[in-house]
A and B are shown apart, each in its own frame.
Chain A
Amino acid sequence: MASAPSSDLLEGFHKGIGEFAEEFVANPRYRGQFPKEPKIIHDPLWGTIKLEPWEVALLDLPLFQRLRQIHQTSLVFYVFPGCNHSRFEHTLGVMQQTRRLIDAVNAHYPADRPKFEFKTVRNLRLAALFHDCGHSCFSHITEELYGACSDMVAFWETGELARAHPHETFSSLILRSAPVKELIEEIEKEYDIELDIEKAANWILGKPSERSGKKMHFETQVINGPFDADKLDYIFRDAHYSGLPVGLDLDRLWASCKVNEAENGDEVLTLHQAGVTPLEQILFSKINLFAIVYHHPKVRAAEKMFQSIIESAKSDPERVCFNVSDRRLDLNRATDYLWLTDEVFFSEALRRKKEDPFHKMLHDIRYRRFFVRALTISNDTVAAERHEEFMQLRKLNQPGASTYRAKRTLAKEILAAAGLENEIGVGDIWIDLPSDPSFGEADRTLVRTAAGTLRKASDLFPLHYWSDLFQKHKWRGHVFCPREHQQKVHEAALEVFQSYGLKFRKAAGETSHVPDPKSTV
């Protein structure tokens, strides 16, 4: 596709946000009367969640109801069957955790001088409600794809908003959109309340408000911080539904949470030394979730198959496309991903005729006929003396267009070396090198010590050992392919990697369950 000039891309980007907001917020067909009463919702994790009438008025919008159609943990449910929870449940959970965190902090201050004033609490709940409304199909898998679209890149280059995750950028822009602003004005009048859209939209991006030249980080940190409401909910929720037992002493964490001045005078959330253990538990659970759940080889294989379909939709939209009512989605445009939900994705599987190759691609995911591993790439399978070559391969786990292209070129080379060009396409071979999870939370958390000083939490527990062990012994990359070509692709991958000076032990095939594993050591 020829690249459009930046101004056209930007115009299209803003138009795309506007059209989405018009349909999912302003469409009169979906607008009812404003509710008069609060609503109680029962959540399996947190119990009773109480929503104010103005929150219900927003939650009832298609903008949030569509989150029921987006799995929280991509295609993980095909491996961990309990993981069927959606972004909708998570959003409610974040609203609840926002309330609990605020109440716990305010409990440390006189009732007539709370740290979080009433208006701030309301705006934080608004931010919590909107924080994930920009997610697309299967959550984080599509995020990588629309984050690389030229219209999104052009928007970031304007510097108009602080750099953030792509879905946060979308959420913040949707909250700032004209249809949302108009509705919020109506809500303010109806319920006689004031809401600050700008503040809430900035908090979603992690940008703090300022007062007398000081940054009020503690407000932002409720939504976007080292132990924010979002993290507390997703770690608990994902672990619960995947069946991974975690023990998080949240009550202890809440009880130790206060607001203090950092060295530069900015105000930040801090933990008492006694509250560090729950933070350790959170980070330890996060490591386990990545190692056991999110990076499970079958999950990654399913995600690559999904990526293959999206790649086809981008390069050959006449053959592979998704439709929402009469709108044909153009997946070269970031904003069109907002229309794509898991339901839209799978409904295409039902609409296609059996003879259509796209029917097979979609049903292979639907019925869990996933790619298999042809090679495992890890510290244990790469020949020990090949440090330099291993680094050159491993660095391709940096997100970005150039590393993505390099991995696709390697896949083409493997396809050619296997002599399978007439049987399968390059979309059937994937080199998967997951990025490491970030463990920066411990460096972003200040702890009040018994000596009355503030120290970083990372000074108090051996986080670097955990991350070392993760990247050296738990991190695994793979070459994936269809089961019927596993042996050929295994041997071809070894050959291609050897041409780059990289040698593998037999374990690379053994751990991938290749029938006749080879070695190049």
Chain B
Amino acid sequence: MRMPVTAEDILVGIFYHLKLDQRDKVTADRETLHRVFYRVRERHPGVMALFSFRDRELFPESSQLDQALSNLDAAGLISRRSPAPRYYRFEDPLVSCYKKFSKDLLRDAGIDEDEIDAVAQEIDCLTTGN
């Protein structure tokens, strides 16, 4: 059986491309991440279709994003280690996970690598202000 593509694979793809661009971390601030992913979903509805958002009082929230971050963290692909728990650090297994699984799953789901890269660049701009 081939595993289905999920929000985790999209996240692995995005973080892999950030890592390719010499980024070693992304903010772990939940509000920032949810706001940024919400904006990016509006601009790239195809790539980000697996993330749905619910309007909340302060910012829109995606349960798929929360779950995917938690799964990547639990599996050791990213980490929020002290003394900088404000960031998710990209760990080595993130790269191997992308190459072994997520790259093919995303391609088979019709999600173009360049588009994932474009999403990654936007997320980088929106989270770092660069």
Interface residues of A (CB under 8 A from B): 162-164, 206-208, 215, 217, 220-221, 225, 262, 266, 268, 379, 387-388, 390-392, 394-398, 400, 402-403, 405-406, 409-410, 413, 435-436, 438, 440, 443-444, 446, 456, 458, 464-465, 467-468, 471-472, 475
Minimum C-beta distance from B111 to chain A (A): 14
Contacts of B63 on A, CB cut-off 8 Å?
Answer: 435, 438
Contacts of A266 on B, CB cut-off 8 Å?
Answer: 57
A402 close to B4 (CB less than 8 A)? yes
A388 close to B57 (CB less than 8 A)? no
B74 close to A379 (CB less than 8 A)? yes
Docked pose: A162 CA to B85 CA in angstroms: 34
A394 close to B74 (CB less than 8 A)? yes
B8 (CB) vs chain A CBs: closest residue:
A395
Contacts of B53 on A, CB cut-off 8 Å?
Answer: 163
A390 (CB) vs chain B CBs: closest residue:
B75
Docked pose: A406 CA to B4 CA in angstroms: 7
Q: List 21 A-B contacts (CB under 8 A).
A: A207-B55, A379-B74, A387-B91, A387-B93, A388-B75, A388-B93, A391-B71, A395-B9, A395-B71, A398-B6, A398-B64, A398-B67, A402-B6, A403-B6, A406-B1, A410-B1, A438-B63, A440-B66, A443-B30, A467-B70, A475-B74
- Residue of B53, B57, B93, B97 contacting most chain A CB atoms (<10 Å): B57
Within 8 A of A (CB), among B46-81: 52-59, 61, 63-64, 66-68, 70-77, 80
Docked pose: A314 CA to B102 CA in angstroms: 33
A409 close to B1 (CB less than 8 A)? yes
Within 8 A of A (CB), among B27-55: 28, 30-31, 52-55
A206 close to B54 (CB less than 8 A)? yes
B4 close to A444 (CB less than 8 A)? no
Instruction: Indicate whether B14 reaches chain A with its CB closer than 8 angstroms.
Output: no
Docked pose: A111 CA to B7 CA in angstroms: 50
User: Which residue in B6, B70, B91 is a CB contact (below 8 Å) of A436?
Assistant: B70
Minimum C-beta distance from A230 to chain B (A): 15
Docked pose: A453 CA to B44 CA in angstroms: 36
B28 (CB) vs chain A CBs: closest residue:
A464
B86 (CB) vs chain A CBs: closest residue:
A464
Given A406-B3, A464-B85, do A458 and B54 touch, yes or no (CB 8 Å)?
A: no
Contacts of A388 on B, CB cut-off 8 Å?
Answer: 75, 77, 93, 96-97, 100-101
Contacts of A395 on B, CB cut-off 8 Å?
Answer: 3, 6-9, 68, 71
Contacts of A394 on B, CB cut-off 8 Å?
Answer: 71, 74-75
- Residue of B1, B61, B77 contacting most chain A CB atoms (<10 Å): B1
Docked pose: A400 CA to B52 CA in angstroms: 12
B70 close to A398 (CB less than 8 A)? no
B97 close to A397 (CB less than 8 A)? no
Docked pose: A467 CA to B69 CA in angstroms: 11
B5 (CB) vs chain A CBs: closest residue:
A402
B8 close to A391 (CB less than 8 A)? yes
A471 close to B101 (CB less than 8 A)? no
B2 (CB) vs chain A CBs: closest residue:
A406
Docked pose: A26 CA to B1 CA in angstroms: 50
- Residue of A266, A268, A398, A446 contacting most chain B CB atoms (<10 Å): A398
